[in-house]
Amino acid sequence: MKHSDQQRVNKIYEYASKLTKYVRDNNITREALLTDFSLQWLVTTPLYNIGEHAYNLSAEYKAEHNDIPWTMISGLRHRLVHDYDGTNWKMIVEVVFDDIPALLVQLEELVEK
């Protein structure tokens, strides 16, 4: 199914929100994410989905909202999918705990509620 840019942004926001809420509600720590294989698997699925939707946004939409690092977001997805064994979990911890909350703030004005 082909999604519109708005639908994709809404999905990115939804996945990022659910991931952040799950981490918070389950008291997941940075240290736990660095070492717990099951948590690592848990966070990669929403990151894949966020990256896939970011990758498929139109060039025009990305240019219009160029304050959001779309290329880095989609690049993370490609890296996780194609080089899983080479994943730098310290970087993923920063993404989950620092970058995703910042992305949610940026997306607040772009999502349809």
pLDDT per residue as tens digits for the range 30-72: 999 999 999 999 999 999 999 999 999 999 999 999 999 999 9
What pTM was estimated for this model as a whole?
Answer: 0.92
Q: Is the pLDDT of residue 85 over 80?
A: no
What backbone torsions phi and psi does residue 67 show, to the nearest 5 degrees?
-75, -15
Task: Give the integer Cα–Cα distance in Å for 81 and 67.
Answer: 25
Structure tokens of 85? 């064994």
Angle at the Cα of 71 from the Cα atoms of 19 and 34, rounded to 5 degrees:
40
